[in-house]
Amino acid sequence: MLRRREYLPFPALSRLHVGYAEIGYHRSVKFQQTSSSRFAPWLIALAAMLWGSDLLLRARVVSAGWSASHIVLAEHLILTAIFIVPLWLGHRQLAVLTKRQWAALVFVGVGGSALGTWLYTTAFTLDFSRALTVVLLQKTQPVFALLLAASVLKERRSPLFWGWCIMALLGAALLVVGDKDFGPHLLSRIRMEQALLAIGASALWGAATVVGRPLSVLLPPSLLSGARFALALPVLALLALFAVPPPIAARTPEIGGLLILVALVPGLLGMNLYYRGLRGTTASVATLAELCYPLTSLLIGVAVLHTPMTGGQWAGLVLLLTAVLALGRSPELVVTEENTHDLSPAIS
């Protein structure tokens, strides 16, 4: 059993096997109270806020006549081109992954990146007037992630964790429900296909958080992000074949610039921050930090559109940020017995 770095002659490979020794073979792992673990939830929260910024950009592309399939495909093509160098430099690290780790990586790319993003974008394109309801349904993601983290990664949570969990979920719900445009009429009029698409995306993203957690320790963020985007391309290309192509009038430099912006900010920057944070915390804490997703639209509304926040939204903001702060300062709230060698019986 490998325990020390000097047993391995290749530095690039030693980091992988040290990860196996430190995580795959120890029965129980507690995150130490380090600066990286304290800031890890905030990195994920910031990444989630960056992801939230792409809704406004995607809305403009959709209004120009682009389908969800072509938007997500174009975004992933740009991102794969950006990460081509890390992918080439890291191909030896990918080559030593086990079959189960490759299965996990493929699931993150195909399930989390391709299908999850496509489902969520499609839900919005069906009817943008019900966007707030779709965002609210996306808040079911922690339910899937917490259940899977317990069964797959064997994460055990203290009673105090569940208190912060309830606070974070309540805060995230208030951010959406507290919007002045939100009302019971939106829930009563939401189309069934929209609800199913949003919940399906939440389930895939929650599962991708859990399955991607061990991989984030083994692979550098840039390599893991690049592999995620590249593996999504075949599925997205297939979906695009069955979608209506964007009209010629919509293939303008302005639309191209918006797609590049979507790829750079939520994609490049957001995903790098996400995986840097994920390697320093547990999947249970990470999925709660991702609830900061709707904060971006609120900040844009206040700073740019001069739209005041309601009292309910202010309360939700305080609850959510307090919970994320508490989870970052107390990493011992979750103890994991994850096995990096045997990622999950569910993906074997």
| 206 in a structural domain | yes
Pairing of strands 156-157, 334-335: antiparallel
DSSP 233: H
Q: How far is the C-alpha of 88 from the C-alpha of 105, rounded, in Å? A: 17
pLDDT over threshold 90, residue 251: no
| 303 in a structural domain | no
- pLDDT tens track for 122-137: 988 877 666 666 776 7
Could you tell me the end-to-end alpha-carbon distance of the chain, in angstroms, rounded to an integer?
23
Q: How far is the C-alpha of 72 from the C-alpha of 51, rounded, in Å? A: 13
In sequence order, which residues have a C-beta less than 8 Å from that of residue 96 and are 6 or more positions away? 13, 16
Residues 9, 3: contact at Cβ < 8 Å? no
Length of the chain: 348
Instruction: For residue 191, count other CB atoms closer than 10 A to its CB.
Output: 13
pLDDT band at 220; cut points 50, 70, 90: very high
| 316 in a structural domain | no
Question: What integer pLDDT is reported at residue 58 of this predicted model?
Answer: 79
Between 1 and 200, the higher pLDDT residue:
200
**Average pLDDT over the chain, rounded to an integer:** 77
Question: What integer pLDDT is reported at residue 346 of this predicted model?
Answer: 38
pTM for this one? 0.76
Question: What integer pLDDT is reported at residue 336 of this predicted model?
Answer: 58
Q: How far is the C-alpha of 100 from the C-alpha of 98, rounded, in Å? A: 5
The average pLDDT across 224-229 equals 95
The count of C-alpha atoms lying within 13 angstroms of the C-alpha of 27, restricted to the half-sphere facing its C-beta, is 0
pLDDT band at 63; cut points 50, 70, 90: confident
Q: How far is the C-alpha of 112 from the C-alpha of 117, rounded, in Å? A: 7
Kindly report which listed range (1-10, 44-53, 272-281, 302-311) carries the lowest average pLDDT score.
1-10
In the chain, % of residues over pLDDT 90: 26
| 169 in a structural domain | no
- pLDDT tens track for 70-117: 999 999 999 999 999 999 999 999 999 999 999 999 999 999 999 999
Residue 325, φ and ψ in degrees, nearest 5: -60, -45
- The tokens describing 299, both together, are 């900040």
Which domain, by its residues, includes 114? 33-161+191-293
pLDDT band at 175; cut points 50, 70, 90: confident
Q: How far is the C-alpha of 51 from the C-alpha of 252, rounded, in Å? A: 24
| 141 in a structural domain | yes
Domain count, the chain: 1
| 202 in a structural domain | yes
| 322 in a structural domain | no
Q: How far is the C-alpha of 18 from the C-alpha of 7, rounded, in Å? A: 10
Residues 63, 254: contact at Cβ < 8 Å? no
- pLDDT tens track for 140-174: 788 788 888 877 777 777 777 788 788 888 887 77
Residues facing 334 on adjacent strands: 157
Residues 2, 14: contact at Cβ < 8 Å? no
